[in-house]
Structure 1
Amino acid sequence: MMTDKVRIDTLNANSLPQSNETFLARQAEFESNVRSYPRKLPLAIAKAQGVWITDVENNQYLDCLAGAGTLALGHNHPEMLKSIQSVITSGLPLHTLDLTTPLKDEFSSYLLSLLPGQGKEYCLQFTGPSGADAVEAALKLAKKVTGRSSVISFSGGYHGMTHGALSVTGNLSPKEAVSNMMAEVQFMPYPHEYRCPLGIGGEAGVKALTYYFENLINDVESGVRKPAAVILEAVQGEGGVNPAPIEWLQRIRKVTQEHGILLILDEVQAGFARTGKLFAFEHAGIEPDIIVMSKAVGGGLPLAVLGIKKQFDAWSPGHHTGTFRGNQLAMATGLTTLKILKDDNIADKVAAQGEWLKGKLAELQKRYPVIGHIRGLGLMIGLEIVKPNEAKDHMGCYPADGELSALLQKKCFESGLILERGGRNGSVLRLLPSLLITNAELEIFLDKFENALLGAGVKPV
């Protein structure tokens, strides 16, 4: 017994030297090579509050990643902790499969009320705990409803890492070692405000891409069979923070309705006030057939839900299941999050704050032209890092600089600022902070970011 006690004490993390290096070395020993964030953000987290993270060496970091957008209210919001404690002391089971509870009933009713038309035309499907699980369910349902097998997705899109979700994701890197991806996925170009995929740019580029999509669906010689679904993000996140033009989104909705193609909007990262609207598709005034929700919908705990137009709820009982779709703790924290977002008008606050922050970043851009482009909506903002000393392309854009972007992420970390990268070759620095971040905290971000620019050897002009 004494030997067992010694073994347990040896494994107790509190008995380890409290250094980031020690914990990272042990993580490398314990975990697969697939781990990614610790390679870019080499810390061991001891505690977190609001927008601040403290590591085991007592260093503080301003967190502008927030669990890749999952922590809409930041770390350990007091109302969130209270909701968890309420479930723990209530006697509710923590998981219920798809059996209902008074808590699930309240969560479902409230979430539906936030969907278009107060959810009167929608029903909910609780899937597995991740956004990718919900994407898989959405793709399966679209095929079941239509009897068709193909799907249209878009370059730069990100929908997850499971088999079907990866198949409709644009990034080629994780696909390289995977054979036999899901068949009949057709990728089309997604509009890009800074780097038009057609090489046209501006309003003309958007109009051309809009025509291109409609023509592909209508052209009997396109070579592309009518799809079961079109899946897209109204603001691409991992793809470099690219907002879809309103005209383009509206035309896609019109064409898909005319042809009986289900429109799936992936709101996993952009949803729940992140872009200054409750859902990013609301900027275009459209209603999707299926809404994919995860991340913030669970208030920081694992939960994924589909909003399905009732006319397309073609499932037979048990034809898509998942053990953890009854996560009661996540429904409690999710309900708390949704109520705070709505009651405190967080979307309006985020919309105004995003415009203010982009104005401040534009001032910074004048002094540091390596910031080639500032884009995004609300508190979902991207900064494309470029090579301003090299020749512009025919649209007036400098070459992207993924190497400097990576160095800037490192220097930000050293300055106590956590940012993620995205976009082609990782050239876009991305901001996804808590939606409750204050302007004073964003001023700290601006100071730390400028320090990182200087630390990376970027000289102001």
Structure 2
Amino acid sequence: MSEAQLEALHFSDAPRIISGALPGPKTCEALALSARTESMARGGGRMPIAMDRAFGATFKDPDGNTYIDLSAGVGVSSVGRCHPKVVQAIRDQSEVLMHALEINSTRRTELAAKLSEIAPDGLRGDCITFFTQSGSDALEAAIKFAKRITGRHQIIAFHGGYHGVWNASGALTTGTAYRKGFGAQMGGVIHAPYPYAYRFPFDTTHKSAEQIAGEYVDYLLNTPYTAADDVAAVIVEPVQGEGGYVPPSPEFLQILRQACDRSGTLLIVDEVQSGAGRTGKMWAVEHSAVKPDMLTFGKGIGSDLPMAGLIMRSDLAAQIPDGSMPNTFAANSLSAAVALTNIAILQDPELDLLARAHTLGLEAQEYIRGFGSRFVGEVRGRGLMIGIELVEDPLTRAPLEPQKIGALMRFLMSHGVLMIPCGRYGNVMRVMPSLTITRGLFFRALDVFREALGSLEE
């Protein structure tokens, strides 16, 4: 498909601000109503923006301002919002079957078979899927099942990790905002360093961050007197998301796989944010050729509708008692139909979206490095999962101050671009657009980002 054909999948006037001051009057009304009626415990509730309509990698607010969205709904809109084929799938399926209880339904079964077909090596063709509504739910299921299968209770996760916000999944997540003041969560969690080379706390003169981090987990699992004597699973993001968009070298996951094999521990990869083609492969774990025992998915597989779940080896799934984990709305037939359509679009050879994500990602990284901004400490990523670490000083690597991040985001929004920060200091701007974004929209948004950096210089 040509760029001209892709242009038909987005609002043609993006970016365009017509209301003058932002937020505009109608958006202000929507924000005030939200503040009175909705909990702000959700992530972006206080952002001065409201979505009214969306199409592809663009959206409009209630005042008619049009934005380019480089967040894809935090990695959700893999094929773009309201893709015509997705909209048609919703229309077709809504006339046949939507809610099916937890009995068998044809769309859910069809989706499970498709996920087995596209799963990474080690799971492909010999796996079972447990469906959920969100990534947090999927991690809860993974933890519960891993404990049942192994008869063990400890879990190893990583500094900077985000795996959800419920009790068990929240215990794995290390973000202060999700933990502080909420009291004790699930016990038995051991956190280890993630190979975040730009801010790694140990000397990497003789060994890489991946070697040190991987060997530390091996030490925990396979050495006496480490207190990691009852570990059911190691849970890891193959590209760390909320922790700063950190892509480790393949060696890291390979060391983890070997360490888990030696100790009889399950290796669970969390692909909720990195899956669905975002890194240039269907699953980010495929960059390392590692075979996981379980894989959690969400976000981009469902795109416009909630869809998540856990894919596990068939021999492991056989050890889970029937009826031990009910989930009323999981794999609603409407969501399943949409997920099947999303996968078909991602696999469409004419579009070749995964290879395109790889190529566009490399070009974008080089383009951003070429800005020459003193605030850009590091540009990293895989495919269209790119992190831009912003610093006060490239030599000290001191994180860019929060008020400057706020000023940067206000500049971006005032010029019709939405980017969302992440990272342990909130100083990493993430570039994660829909895989169907046009080159024109993509680089136009990056040019606005360059201008925003220039405004900080001034």
**Same fold, TM-score > 0.5, yes or no:** yes
The CA distance in 1 between the partners of 2:43 and 2:156, in whole Å, is 29
- Counterpart residue identity of residue 49, structure 1: F
Runs of 4 or more, structure 1, over 6 Å off, are none
Matches within 5 A, 1:330-369: 330-344=335-349, 345-364=352-371, 366=372, 368-369=373-374
1:169 aligns with 2:170: no
Query: Is the CA contact 1:415–1:452 (under 8 Å) kept in the aligned structure 2?
Result: no
Question: 3-state DSSP class of the match of 2:157?
Answer: strand
Please say if 1:282 is aligned against 2:289.
no
- SS of 2:324's partner is coil
C-alpha separation between the residues in 1 aligned to 2:25 and 2:114?
43
Instruction: State the shift of 1:297 in Å.
Output: 1.5
Aligned to 1:228: 232
Aligned to 1:247: 251
| 1:176 to partner: Cα distance | 1.1
In the alignment, does 2:211 pair up with 1:204? no
CA distance in 1, matches of 2:387, 2:241: 9
Matched length? 431
Asked whether the equivalents of residues 81 and 303 of structure 2 are also in contact (C-alpha less than 8 Å), the reply is: no
Partner of 2:409: 409
Q: Does 1:37 align with 2:44?
A: yes
Higher helix share: 1
Alignment correspondent of 1:438: 438
Give, in whole Å, the separation in 1 of the partners of 2:427 and 2:209: 22
Change (3 A) 1:202 1:234: farther
SS at match of 2:197: coil
- Specify the alignment match of 1:8 in structure 2: none
Structure 1 residues 297-321: Cα deviation after superposition (integer angstroms, max 9, x where no partner):
2132111121110111121111011
- Provide the TM-score with structure 1 as the length reference: 0.90
Aligned to 2:184: 180
Amino acid at match of 1:67: G
Give the counterpart letter for 2:156 in structure 1: I
Contact 2:40 2:46 in 1 (8 A): no
Amino acid at match of 1:28: A
CA-to-aligned-CA distance 1:219-252 (integer Å, 9 cap, x gap): 1021222300000100011111011221111010
Other structure's SS at 2:442 match: helix
| Aligned partner of 1:271 among 259, 272, 275 | 275
From 7, 20, 29, give the equivalent of 2:27.
20
RMSD: 1.7
Q: CA deviation at 1:446?
A: 1.6
- Of 110-119 and 267-276, the range deviating more from structure 2: 110-119
- For 2:157 and 2:169, the matched residues in 1 are separated by 10
1 CA distance for matches of 2:164 and 2:42?
Answer: 16
Partner of 1:140: 144
Flag structure 2 segments of 5+ consecutive residues without an equivalent: 1-23
Letter in 2 for 1:122: C
Q: Is the 8 A contact 2:55 2:82 kept in 1?
A: yes
Gaps of 5+ in 1: 1-16
Work out the CA distance in 2 between the residues paired with 1:107 and 1:224.
37
Counterpart AA for 2:322: P
Question: What amino acid is the match of 2:430?
Answer: R
CA distance in 1, matches of 2:56, 2:353: 15
Query: Aligned partners of 1:446, 1:32: CA distance in 2, in Å?
Result: 33
In the other structure, the counterpart of 2:379 is 374
**Aligned residues: percent identity?**
33
Structure 2 distance, partners of 1:23, 1:202, is 55
| Whole-Å separation in 2 of the counterparts to 1:196 and 1:18 | 46
Equivalent residue number for residue 84 of structure 2: 78
Q: Which residue is equivalent to 2:221?
A: 217
Summarize deviations over 1:323-370 as a string: whole Å, max 9, x none: 111311111110001011112331111111100110101101x2x110
d(CA) in 2 for partners of 1:202 and 1:161? Answer: 37
Structure index of larger Rg = 1
Tell me, yes or no, if the aligned pair for 1:293 and 1:305 is still in contact at 8 Å: yes
Q: Distance in 2 between matches of 1:133 and 1:143?
A: 16
